C-alpha cells in the first residue's frame, strides 16, 4: 500500500489540441455525413436487434452532486453482452458490398444470405485478433452469413472468453504474448492463407475496415440521442468513454463533434494504467500516436492494448478533451457500484472494461485530490454525464472474484470515510 500512497489516484492530461478551433480534417473522411443512418439501417435487419437500454442512475447522481448519470447498457446487445458486434457486422457488410462491386445502393441482409450472393462471393474466411468481445462479434456476424471465421487471442485470454467465441463456430488460435502480438500474428497468417482480416485497429495500408468498424459503433450513438431526447435532454454535457486501441472512443468523440460542433460534450477517454497508449500519446503532446510496452497485465482485458489505432488517434487528437490512466481497483470498484446500486437505481451487470468509467467519474467528482480536474472539466450540479457499459459478465470467474470475493479492493488510502 505504501507504493500506492505515493502515486496519484488517477493520472490525467488535458488535451490542448482539442477544440473546434483545432480542425479535425479526418472527421469527414472517417465518419462522413449520412453514414450513421446507413449503419443503423443494417443493424435494424439483424436477427434479435433492439435498442440496448439507456439507464438513469438518478440516486447516484443525487448522492455525488451532479445533474444526471446515464448509462448505455451494452450488456444487453443481441445477447452478446457487448457493443462490439455493431462494428464487426458493419465492417463485414461494407467489405462484402465492395467485393460485389455494388456502389449505387445498399444491400439487405436477406440479399447477403441468398444463394445467388453466396455463389458470387465464393468461399471466404474472416479473421481477427481480439481480447474477447470483438472476436465474438465477428464470429457471430460470420456465422449469420454462413462464412468461416478464425479468431486469434493472446495467452492470457480466459477460457470463458474463448468458449464464447467457439460457440459461434469460429476456430480460435492462442498466441504467446499480448493482444498486440496476436494482431501481428493474424496479419502474417491471413496473408499466407488468403483470409480477410476484420480488425478494429488500423496500420499502414489497412484503414478501410477499421474505419467501417468505427462507423458501425455510431448506431449506438444514434440510439443514445433518441433515448436522451425522450427524457427531454438534448445532449450530455460530459462523456466518459473507455479505450483500448481507441476505435470506440474515436467513434463517440467524432460523432458528437460532428453533431454538435462547439457545443459538443466534454470528452474524457479512460484507460488502464498498464496499457495507457492513448494517454501517453496525449501526454507527449506532439500529435503523434505512441505505443506502450510491457506485459499489459490488467483486469480490463478488453482495454489491454499497447498500440493505438492510427486512424482512431487522428480523431481523438482533436476531439477528446481529457485522457485518464486508471489502476485496476478503479474498474473493480465500478463493477461493485453497478452491482450494488444506490437505492432506487437499476442493477447493472458490468465487466471490468465496462465499469472503469463509472468509478473514474465518481473519484473525480468526490475525491479531494482530483478537485482541480473536476474544475477543469466543469463538472457540477448541472452536469448530465453519459457512460457506456461496454460489456456484461463476459468472464464469469473473474466477475465473481471481483464482485463476490472483493478482489482488487480499493486501497485504504483512497477509501472514503464512513459517515
The residues that are catalytic are 84, 131
At residue 87, φ and ψ (nearest 5 deg) are: -75, -45
CB 196 within 8 A of CB 165: no
By DSSP bridging, strand 171-175 and strand 148-154 are parallel
Between helix 310-319 and helix 208-230 the angle, nearest 10°, is 40
CB 241 within 8 A of CB 250: no
Contacts of 196 (CB under 8 A, 6+ apart): 95, 124, 125, 126, 127, 190
Closest CA to 107 of 116, 120, 94: 94
3 state DSSP class of 244: coil
At residue 357, φ and ψ (nearest 5 deg) are: -70, -35
At residue 232, φ and ψ (nearest 5 deg) are: 80, 20
Cα separation, 46 vs 89, in Å, equals 9
CB 285 within 8 A of CB 17: yes
CA distances from 334 to 54, 77, 289, 310 (A): 17, 20, 28, 29
Closest CA to 312 of 159, 232, 400, 201: 201
From the centroid of its chain, how far is CA 247? Answer: 7
CB 125 within 8 A of CB 193: yes
CB burial of 70-104 (b: ≥16 within 10 Å; e: otherwise) equals bbbbbbbbbebbbbbbbbbbbbbbbbbbeeeeeee
Type and span of the H or E element at 385: strand 384-389
Amino acid at each position: 500500500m505504501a507504493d500506492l500512497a505515493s502515486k496519484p489516484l488517477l493520472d490525467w492530461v488535458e488535451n490542448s489540441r482539442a477544440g473546434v478551433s483545432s480542425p479535425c480534417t479526418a472527421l469527414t473522411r472517417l465518419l462522413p455525413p449520412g453514414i450513421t443512418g446507413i449503419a443503423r439501417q443494417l443493424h435494424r435487419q439483424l436477427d434479435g436487434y433492439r435498442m440496448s437500454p439507456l439507464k438513469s442512475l438518478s440516486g447516484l447522481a443525487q448522492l455525488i452532486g451532479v445533474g444526471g448519470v446515464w448509462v448505455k447498457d451494452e450488456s444487453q446487445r443481441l445477447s452478446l453482452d457487448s457493443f462490439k458486434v455493431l462494428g464487426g457486422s458493419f465492417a463485414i457488410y461494407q467489405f462484402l458490398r465492395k467485393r460485389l462491386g455494388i456502389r449505387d445502393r445498399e444491400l439487405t441482409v436477406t440479399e447477403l444470405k441468398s444463394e445467388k450472393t453466396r455463389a458470387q462471393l465464393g468461399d471466404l474466411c474472416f479473421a481477427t485478433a481480439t481480447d474477447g468481445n470483438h472476436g465474438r462479434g465477428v464470429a457471430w456476424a460470420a456465422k449469420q452469413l454462413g462464412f468461416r471465421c478464425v479468431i486469434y487471442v493472446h495467452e492470457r485470454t480466459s477460457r470463458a472468453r474463448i468458449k464464447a467465441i467457439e460457440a459461434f463456430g469460429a476456430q480460435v488460435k492462442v498466441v504467446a504474448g499480448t493482444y498486440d502480438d496476436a494482431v501481428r500474428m493474424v496479419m502474417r497468417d491471413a496473408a499466407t492463407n488468403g483470409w480477410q482480416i476484420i480488425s478494429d485497429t488500423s496500420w499502414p495500408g489497412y484503414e478501410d475496415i477499421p474505419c467501417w468498424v468505427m462507423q458501425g459503433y455510431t448506431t449506438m450513438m444514434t440510439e443514445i440521442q433518441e433515448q436522451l431526447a425522450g427524457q427531454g435532454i438534448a445532449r450530455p454535457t460530459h462523456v466518459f468513454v473507455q479505450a483500448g486501441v481507441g476505435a470506440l472512443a474515436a467513434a463517440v468523440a467524432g460523432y458528437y463533434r460532428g453533431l454538435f460542433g462547439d457545443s459538443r460534450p466534454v470528452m474524457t477517454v479512460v484507460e488502464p494504467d498498464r496499457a495507457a497508449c492513448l494517454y501517453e500519446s496525449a501526454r507527449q503532446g506532439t500529435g503523434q500516436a505512441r505505443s506502450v510496452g510491457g506485459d499489459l497485465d490488467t483486469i480490463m482485458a478488453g482495454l489491454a492494448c499497447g498500440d493505438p489505432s492510427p486512424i482512431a488517434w487522428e480523431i481523438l487528437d482533436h476531439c477528446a478533451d481529457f485522457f485518464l490512466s486508471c489502476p485496476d481497483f478503479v474498474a473493480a470498484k465500478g463493477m461493485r457500484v453497478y452491482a450494488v446500486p444506490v437505492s432506487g437505481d437499476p442493477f447493472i451487470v458490468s465487466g471490468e472494461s465496462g465499469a472503469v468509467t463509472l468509478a473514474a467519474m465518481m473519484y473525480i467528482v468526490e475525491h479531494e485530490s482530483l478537485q482541480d480536474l473536476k474544475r477543469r472539466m466543469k463538472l457540477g450540479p448541472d452536469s448530465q454525464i453519459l457512460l457506456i457499459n461496454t460489456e456484461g459478465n463476459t468472464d464469469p470467474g473473474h466477475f465473481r472474484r471481483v464482485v463476490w470475493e472483493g478482489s482488487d479492493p480499493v486501497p485504504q488510502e483512497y477509501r472514503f470515510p464512513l459517515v
